[in-house]
Every structure is written in structure tokens, then in C-alpha cells.
């Protein structure tokens, strides 16, 4: 894999060089050579990994059968330990191969996107040059024609229009009246979805918030799917779900009009090694679970539960935001944007489950958030997130925080089970387990 890693790093460096104006013929020639070397190697690695996975599954069965037989015969469990240790080592190796293939594919994807942009800029520059030359030639012809018509006298000068911006005016501000209903106020920062402003309704004076979606989301090709998710979110009415009032399209921009949230994202309250008071954490998670129960009962999944999507104050109610749209935006940005961190990986369920999300997926993520709130630590700190989730490699909360109810460990062990079938069957069941904690 060393040769493949070296070619991948060179391809990444080549992709970054396009912004610096790399020579087109040289870049095109080198990338063709690199891709010709990477493509067959990554294909051979995939075939080898597939065969290795098949052998590993067989080894799993044999190792666990040996362990079960040893336990049944009342022998020391140490006799089975070497086999299980080997399984874990092989699993770690498989995960590393999988991550290596993923990084290589992402490098190829990013370089292709950068090269296409580089080629388009080059074509556009040439087109602009030809257009400018053609325009100058046409202007010269028209000037000569005008001179003949006026007998060589210069035409009267015209006062140019004032196209400068007024003092303090910014082109990137929202319109004075969005959708004819909402008057923007002051900027509120930049959450992952885009720029945010406070606003008020001109119809009833109610406060709201405006989010202008990132251009990468609008141009990603997934905008219709995003809007479909937004419509589902807008249909949810619950005291612990942040309301989405409308989606507004104006020109090339797309805006979300949301309920004005009183709280900050939960991520702003979390500090490493500083757990939140158990009673406050339990109340917040109970409110989030109630919101999920309402949404799941109507067939709506969140798909990206994490602290940044939970708006909370220690005194007020918690609100769950971004139903469905956070997941869709994360996928869209993964295709088009580079260098944007979405912060979802520690909270998402194990990888294979991401293809078909379920209510258990949302509850897994909620369990991860609860663990972090009561311990001050992430259950899956990474960087081997996938392996940690599949093997449930996390310390029990009671090991970090004295005085927790005894049932907390058992509840989180079920919430964070690698297999969705071993988790809580519904948000209502999750809520019932919370009540048992006292």
C-alpha cells in the first residue's frame, strides 16, 4: 500500500496546486499518469479486502465457537482469549484498510472536482478573452460608423450612473423584506447550514431567524431532496421541536425561516471532563426523546442528532432543530465542499447502518449525546470511530462519575448497542428507561 499512499499524496498535492495556477498541459499529463496507477491498485485492494472479510467472518465463527465450547466445559476463559485477541487485531487491520480505501477515493474525487473547476476557469478565461477582443473590434467598427455619420464631430458626453454602494450597505446582506413577510435584523453568526440573521414578521411582529443556505448546498444537485426534507420538518409541531415556518427562494439564494430559538446549541455548554448536573442532563435528553417520539410517530427521522442540533438553556425547554436537513446538507457538502467540518462522525451510528437509517439510528446518536453530558467525555473519541462503535469500546459512565443511578450503565449499554435490533425499539421505550433512572 506504500506505493498507493505515495501516489495518493501526490494526487492531493496536485489538486491543491490548481488554485495556484498550475500549467494545464503538465497537470493534465501528470494526473493521467497518477490515475492510471491508482485505479488498478485500489481495485486490487478492494478485491483483497473483500476476500479478507470473508475469511475474517469465518474466523469469527470459529473463535466464538471455541470460546462458547470452553465456557460450556467450565474451562478457563483464558483459553479462548488468544483467538478473540486475534479477531480484534484482524478487525482493526480491516478497518484501517477500509479507511485507507475511503481516503484514497476521496482524494481522487476531490482532485477530479478541483481539476474540472480548473479546466472550467481556463475555458472561461479564454472565452472572456475572445469575447473582449470581439467586443473591442465591434466597438471600433461602431465608432468609425458613428464618426462618419456625425462628420467626425465627437459625440456628446453622458454622465455615468452612480453604481457605488451606499455607506454601510453590503451586497451579502439579505433583502430588505424577504418573501414580502420577514424583515431581517442583525447577523447571528454562521451555523453549519449557512449565514444566520435575526428577523421579525411584518404581519404580526413575531421574532424568527433566517438562514441563507450555503452555496455548496444550493448548487449540489441535492437541493430538491433537501427541500423535501425541509417540508417534512415544517409539518412537525411539538413544544420541543424548533419550528420551520417557510423555505424561500429568491434569485440564486435559498432561505430557511425558523422559529427564534432562546437557547444556545448544546455544544456550547459541553466542556471536556466537566459533566453537566445529572438532573439537568436527564431533563434535556427526556425533552429531546419526546421530540423524536413525536417525529418518528409521523414517519420523520432526524438522521443527524448531535449537540449542535439541540438548542438548550439550563432554565428553558430544549428544542431539536434541523430535522432531516442536517443529514441532507452533510451529504451534499461531502460531495462538493472541501475543508468543512460537520462534526457528526462521533455521534452517527456504525457505518453500514448509515445506508438505511431508522428510529434506532436517532436513538443511538441521542445515547451518545447523553453519555457526553453526564461524563464530560465522548463515548467514541476516535479516530477509529467505526471500530470503537462496532466493538462497543467505551468505558461505562459509572467509572467516571460517582453517584450516578446504577441503571445508567445498563441503559446506555442498550442505547449504544452496535446491532440496531439490540437497542430500544422506540423513543417511547427510551423515555421509559429514562424514568427508571429516577
What pLDDT score does 201 carry? 92
Peptide bond into 383 cis (omega under 30): yes
What pLDDT score does 242 carry? 93
What pLDDT score does 44 carry? 78
What pLDDT score does 360 carry? 94
pLDDT per residue, tens digit, the chain (438 aa), is 778 778 777 766 766 666 555 566 677 777 778 788 877 877 777 677 666 666 766 665 565 556 556 555 655 444 444 455 555 566 566 666 766 666 676 667 666 666 666 666 566 556 556 666 766 776 777 777 666 665 555 444 433 333 333 433 334 678 888 988 999 999 988 777 888 999 999 988 899 999 998 888 888 777 888 888 899 999 999 999 999 999 998 888 899 999 988 778 998 889 887 899 999 999 999 999 999 999 999 999 999 999 999 998 767 789 999 998 888 887 766 655 544 556 688 999 998 788 788 999 999 999 999 999 999 999 998 888 889 999 998 999 998 888 899 899 999 999 999 999 999 999 999 999 999 987
Q: How far is CA 104 from the centre of its chain?
A: 20
What pLDDT score does 48 carry? 72
Non-local (6+) Cβ contacts of 236 within 8 A are 243, 294, 295, 298, 300, 323
| pTM summary value | 0.61
Non-local (6+) Cβ contacts of 367 within 8 A are 412, 415, 416
What pLDDT score does 370 carry? 97
DSSP assignment, residue 178?
Answer: B
What pLDDT score does 87 carry? 54
What pLDDT score does 411 carry? 96
Amino acid at each position: 500500500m506504500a506505493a498507493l499512499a505515495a501516489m495518493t499524496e501526490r494526487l492531493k498535492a496536485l489538486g491543491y496546486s490548481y488554485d495556484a495556477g498550475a500549467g494545464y498541459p503538465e497537470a493534465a499529463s501528470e494526473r493521467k499518469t497518477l490515475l492510471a496507477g491508482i485505479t488498478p491498485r485500489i481495485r486490487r485492494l478492494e478485491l483483497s479486502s473483500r476476500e479478507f472479510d470473508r475469511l475474517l467472518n469465518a474466523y469469527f465463527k470459529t473463535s466464538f465457537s471455541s470460546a462458547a465450547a470452553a465456557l460450556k466445559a467450565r474451562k478457563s476463559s483464558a483459553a479462548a482469549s488468544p483467538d478473540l485477541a486475534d479477531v480484534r487485531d484482524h478487525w482493526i487491520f480491516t478497518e484501517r484498510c477500509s479507511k485507507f480505501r475511503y481516503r484514497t477515493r476521496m482524494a481522487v474525487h476531490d482532485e477530479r472536482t478541483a481539476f474540472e473547476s480548473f479546466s472550467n476557469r481556463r475555458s472561461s478565461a479564454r472565452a472572456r478573452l475572445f469575447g473582449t477582443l470581439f467586443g473591442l473590434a465591434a466597438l471600433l467598427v461602431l465608432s468609425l460608423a458613428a464618426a462618419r455619420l456625425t462628420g467626425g464631430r465627437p459625440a456628446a458626453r453622458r454622465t455615468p450612473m452612480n453604481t457605488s454602494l451606499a455607506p454601510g450597505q453590503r451586497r451579502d446582506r439579505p433583502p430588505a423584506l424577504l418573501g414580502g413577510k420577514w424583515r431581517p435584523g442583525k447577523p447571528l453568526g454562521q451555523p453549519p447550514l449557512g449565514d444566520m440573521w435575526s428577523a421579525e414578521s411584518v404581519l404580526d411582529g413575531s421574532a424568527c431567524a433566517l438562514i441563507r443556505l450555503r452555496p455548496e448546498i444550493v448548487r449540489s444537485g441535492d437541493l430538491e431532496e433537501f427541500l423535501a426534507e425541509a417540508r417534512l420538518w415544517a409539518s412537525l409541531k411539538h413544544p420541543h421541536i424548533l419550528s420551520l415556518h417557510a423555505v424561500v427562494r429568491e434569485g440564486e439564494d435559498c432561505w430557511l425561516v425558523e422559529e427564534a430559538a432562546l437557547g444556545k446549541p448544546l455544544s456550547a455548554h459541553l466542556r471536556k471532563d466537566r459533566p453537566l448536573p445529572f438532573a439537568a442532563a436527564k431533563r434535556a435528553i427526556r425533552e429531546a426523546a419526546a421530540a423524536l417520539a413525536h417525529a418518528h410517530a409521523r414517519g420523520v427521522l432526524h438522521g443527524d442528532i448531535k449537540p449542535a442540533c439541540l438548542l438548550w438553556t439550563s432554565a428553558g425547554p430544549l428544542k431539536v432543530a434541523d430535522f432531516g436537513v442536517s443529514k441532507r446538507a452533510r451529504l451534499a457538502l461531502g460531495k462538493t465542499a472541501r475543508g468543512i467540518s460537520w462534526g457528526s462522525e462521533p455521534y452517527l451510528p456504525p457505518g453500514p447502518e448509515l445506508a438505511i437509517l431508522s428510529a434506532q439510528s436517532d436513538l443511538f446518536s441521542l445515547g451518545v449525546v447523553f453519555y457526553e453530558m453526564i461524563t464530560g467525555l465522548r463515548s467514541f473519541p476516535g479516530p477509529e470511530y467505526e471500530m470503537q462503535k462496532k466493538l462497543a469500546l467505551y468505558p461505562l459512565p459509572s467509572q467516571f462519575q460517582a453517584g450516578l443511578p446504577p441503571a445508567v450503565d445498563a441503559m446506555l449499554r442498550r442505547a449504544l448497542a452496535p446491532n440496531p435490533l439490540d437497542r430500544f425499539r422506540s423513543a417511547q421505550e427510551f423515555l421509559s428507561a429514562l424514568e427508571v433512572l429516577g
